[in-house]
Amino acid sequence: MTEELAKQFATMTPSPTERPLNPSRTRYLRAKIDAGLAVSFQWAFAKYVDPSGRQTIYRMNAQHSSTVLFAMANEGYFPEQALWAHVDEFEVNSLEALALLFRQYDDRKSSRSLGDVAGAYQGLYPQLSDVPRNIGKIGIDAVTWFNRQIEDIMVPTGDDSYSRFADQSLWPYLHWLAEVNPTGLLKKTTLVSAMFGTYNAAQTEAEAFWEAVATGGVDGDTTAPASALYNWLVADANGDLNARIEPRGYYQAAIWCWNAFRAGRTVTNVRYEQTPKGFHKISA
């Protein structure tokens, strides 16, 4: 390990799959180095030649450790003990291969969570840079659940499901989802699946309905479908329903209220049970 090598990796073009820099991770590494406990670093870079023939070298694994070491060099405190870096060089034939390569690096401290993998695939598409990564992940999880459970379509699951960020037909939905910000009461995957299904059925109406749900319902009208769904979710969160709601129950409740909204009906009792025919059909 030399200051030059640390600088090379710290300033190298980061892979678009790279996770955000985690300050707790850098503090951990700095303390480990200062204590003389650092072992060989596993660093990697990848060469990619795009269709136009332009080559880019991407940093694949070294973000936190090279950042720490480069900062130490700039401070004049580069470690005196002998440190080593095991450097792997790869060639990839597509940007998607960068995400696959990202998944191969794993250790106890920096294991790749599903959120990290989802972020790696999302990071390949600058068009989705304004979508928070936690929203992007739940958005794809919801599409996968909807495809498999509602449409009975066999689509990729697990890590592979996030390759679907490449599907440009999903981008408008993901941007809209970021605007709604399905956190808190709305963060359940099956609820977001209902959002996806209604958005596909009637985009403009879905935008209005879910904006109302997200902001507490319709003022002064507790029987408005959006109000009924919001109040039902609040009661569930507070443990006031005296029932354990299965994940699919949230989908059923949402579609029950959506269908009432589309029909111009009021809702006094949210129905979340599975029907003899299975899931409620989404009204267009």
Summarised one tens digit per residue, pLDDT across range 156-177 is 998 999 999 999 999 999 999 9
Over residues 61-74, mean pLDDT = 96
Beta bridge partners of 268: none
Q: For residue 206, give both structure tokens.
A: 């879905």
Neighbours of 32 (CB within 10 A): 15
Cα 265 from Cα 225, distance rounded (Å): 8
Query: What is the enclosing helix (H) or strand (E) of 57?
Result: strand 55-61
The whole-angstrom separation of Cα 58 and Cα 175 is 27
Task: Supply the pLDDT for residue 275.
Answer: 84
If phi over 0 gives left and psi between -120 and 50 gives alpha, with beta otherwise, what is residue 238?
alpha
The pTM assigned to this predicted structure is 0.80
Unique residue bearing structure tokens 């790696």:
120
The share of the chain scoring above pLDDT 70, in percent, equals 98
Tokens 């029932």 correspond to: 243
Please provide residue 88's backbone torsions phi and psi, each rounded to the nearest 5 degrees.
-105, 140
**106 and 152 in contact (C-beta within 8 Å)?**
no
What does the mean pLDDT of the chain come to?
Answer: 94
Give the pLDDT band (50/70/90) at residue 277.
confident
Q: Does residue 111 carry a pLDDT above 80?
A: no
- 276 pLDDT band, cuts 50/70/90, is confident
Which position has the higher pLDDT, 243 or 237? 237
Q: What percent of the chain has pLDDT over 90?
A: 89
Half-sphere exposure of 8 (CA within 13 A, CB side): 11
The H or E element containing residue 88 is strand 85-92
Query: Which whole number is the average pLDDT over 124-142?
Result: 97
Residue 109 scores a pLDDT above 60: no
